[in-house]
Amino acid sequence: EAVFRTVLANKNKPISAVAISQKLKNSWPVNTYPRDMSPKVIQSLLKNMKEYPIKTIIPNESHAAK
Residue-wise pLDDT tens digits, 22-50: 998 888 777 777 788 899 998 888 888 77
Three-state secondary structure call for residue 65: coil
Q: Which residue type sits at 26?
A: N
| Cα atoms found within 13 Å of the Cα of residue 38, Cβ hemisphere only | 3
What pLDDT does residue 40 have? 93
- State the number of CA atoms in the 13 A half-sphere of 49 facing the CB: 18
Separation CA 37–CA 6 (nearest Å): 13
pTM assigned to the model: 0.70
